[in-house]
Amino acid sequence: MLLFLNCSQFFQSFDMVSKTAEQMLGIFPMSEYETIIKESHEALRLAAEQFEAGTLPPDSLKKVSAPLGIYQQSNGLFMARIRVPGGFLTPALMRKIAQIAKLHGAGFLHLTTRQDVQAHGLKPLALYPFVRDCTESGLPFRGGGGDTFRNIICSDGAGMSPDAVFDIFPHVMALNNFLLRYQRAYSLPRKFKPGFSSSSHDEQFAKLQDLGFSAHTLHGKHGFTVYGGGGMGRVSAPGVLLFDFLPEDQILKCAAAMVNLFDEHGDRSDRSRARIRFIVAKMGHDAFRSLFLDYFAKTDAPLAEIASTPLYLRETKVPQTVKSASENQAFREWLSHASRPSRGAGPEPCCELSFFPKNGNLSPDDFSGMASLAEECGVLIVQVSRRQRLIFPALPSCALPFVHESLLGSRFSARLDAAGLDGLFTSCIGASVCKIGMLDAPSIACAAAAGLERFLASWDGGAPDQLRQKLLSSVRFSGCHNSCGVHLTSALGFQGLKRKVNDEMKELCRVFVARHAENSTLSEPVEGLEVPVANVPAVICSIVADYASSDAFRHGQSFADFVCSATKERIAALAAQSQ
């Protein structure tokens, strides 16, 4: 299985392309790639030593560290981003990450909305050994940050999700292996974010990538609807439709064409307008599409060799529990929000199971503990989800009582079973850690969760846990316009900002609402509505109370649909009432 291979073995599929051909296609030969990796690590080592000695300023260190996905935090320590294509990890890799993080003094691991695993709290001199050890374990750092291609993301559950058209795991790996060695993907005008969605239900997020692939079949053949030039940030835009159907073996050529186009047409004079979506805005959709198709026609790249779908499960004797968990109310509630159907193949019925680290943060020991739990249940692939959960895409249902008992016992230092809302809204890491951020999104999200829990405690309109689940999937937070908390993809989103009002710097949140719960691309700001941070809980509670007392709620409409159908004036009025 691909994920058990080490870094060099990842590239075996390219051995059939001769070195000369590789060079002609712009693909680093393996030896050159390894040299570049070593040189970038060596440069990091030197820069970190000079920084520690006080002879190199932070900005100069950043020039070396950012392309490796390493950034200084607000507290002066460092974050190192481990790119995890598709969020897919084996238990062995998880344990390795935990071991390396612990060895080099990382305080905690953070799961990002782009399915990376970030190690936080590293000291400068720990950076080089951390990167070296991860790379030797098959987790190359190149492209974790800077003006390079970023982690390739994919739908939660991947091929095990019942609505998946087919398993996109092999496609994510094929594209990652290709781009890692594609020379032009490393000196782009700005970052380049690719992604795959496995079903039409999830096509929305493929539209929000610089290059997004949404799985489809045509006459029984696998392929993708392809979008380009989408993204979120200070200026956000959905992507342009590039192909209704692209055969799966053309994905490398498609990515190479987009990288080449970006390399030659991106605005290198203005970083704030350098992303592909600004090329689209300048040219218009039709001209961009036609430019892309020209690049596609003239780009040479190997056909993608799509490996077979990996094994998600092995047969194992699942440990037995002492209690009859199925009679337990807490167990049933946990199942209702943590599990959903899975296609998992095996002799036993299977489910997909989610684990909910608070604010997406886990200690290295708990991360390693999750690896052990997966192994004990026969789970071969664990996924970091876009909602900052850990997922077992396929778990034998008979293992559920054992997993539940493991979560409630002393095995983990933190709750991972999602009892309540605290720490479970999707949010970015926030400005208490992120140096370029505005506000601390996790603490805003936690304050909102606390306010909602108070509301739910006095609410007698139904099952609070069901309402919690509706809210968790519909409300998101970002600490600034960079939108790392993907608030623009939720029904109700909050974006932090600071603004001077009467000579006083105020901490505010801009409120975003989606127009359509299904198939919308981006939510929109409620014009003129900027809520003081302290009032965010009251604003959310006011909107939720309006929903919970509405006919829409009584008739079973989701919270997302309710927010989408409410006028912006209504949202603004509710916000005003609550303040």
Residues of this chain that interact with ligand SF4 (CB under 6 A) are 428-431, 434, 436-437, 441, 478-480, 482-485
Q: List all residues 6 or more positions away from 318 whose beta carbon is below 8 Å from its beta carbon.
A: 376, 377, 378, 396, 398, 399, 402
Q: How far is the CB of 479 from ligand SF4 (least distance, A)?
A: 3
Q: How far is the CB of 476 from ligand SF4 (least distance, A)?
A: 11
**Cβ-based nearer residue to ligand SF4, 443 or 558:** 443
**Cβ-based nearer residue to ligand SF4, 109 or 374:** 109
Q: Fill in the DSSP letter of residue 55.
A: -
Q: Is the dihedral of CA 109, 112, 115, 121 positive or negative?
A: negative
Helices 91-103 and 364-376: crossing angle in degrees, nearest 10, is 160
Q: How far is the CB of 120 from ligand SF4 (least distance, A)?
A: 12
Main-chain phi, psi angles of 400, to 5 degrees: -60, -45
Closest CA to 160 of 1, 391, 431, 365: 391
Closest CA to 359 of 391, 387, 392, 384: 387
**Cβ-based nearer residue to ligand SF4, 173 or 439:** 439
Rounded Cα distance between 159 and 313, Å, is 13
SS3 121: strand
Q: How far is the CB of 138 from ligand SF4 (least distance, A)?
A: 27
Task: Name the pairing type of β-strands 524-532 and 504-513.
Answer: antiparallel
Q: How far is the CB of 388 from ligand SF4 (least distance, A)?
A: 12
Q: How far is the CB of 482 from ligand SF4 (least distance, A)?
A: 4
Task: Name the pairing type of β-strands 426-427 and 475-478.
Answer: parallel
**Cβ-based nearer residue to ligand SF4, 318 or 441:** 441
Q: How far is the CB of 34 from ligand SF4 (least distance, A)?
A: 32
Q: How far is the CB of 191 from ligand SF4 (least distance, A)?
A: 12
Count of CB atoms situated within 10 Å of the CB of 421: 23
Q: How far is the CB of 435 from ligand SF4 (least distance, A)?
A: 8
Rounded Cα distance between 453 and 509, Å, is 21
Place of tokens 């008739």: 555
Q: How far is the CB of 195 from ligand SF4 (least distance, A)?
A: 17
Place of tokens 């092995």: 314
**Cβ-based nearer residue to ligand SF4, 231 or 479:** 479
**Cβ-based nearer residue to ligand SF4, 385 or 426:** 426
**Cβ-based nearer residue to ligand SF4, 145 or 437:** 437
* Helix or strand holding residue 496 (H, E): strand 492-501
Helices 364-376 and 400-408: crossing angle in degrees, nearest 10, is 160
**Cβ-based nearer residue to ligand SF4, 46 or 436:** 436
Residue nearest to ligand SF4 (CB): 437
Q: How far is the CB of 438 from ligand SF4 (least distance, A)?
A: 6
**Cβ-based nearer residue to ligand SF4, 41 or 114:** 114
* Phi and psi based region of residue 233 (left: phi greater than 0; alpha: psi -120 to 50; beta: remaining): left
SS3 451: helix
- CB contact at 8 A, 506 and 498: yes
**Cβ-based nearer residue to ligand SF4, 215 or 449:** 449
Task: Name the pairing type of β-strands 240-247 and 339-341.
Answer: unpaired
SS3 content of the chain, % helix, strand, coil (to 5): 45, 20, 35
**Cβ-based nearer residue to ligand SF4, 441 or 548:** 441
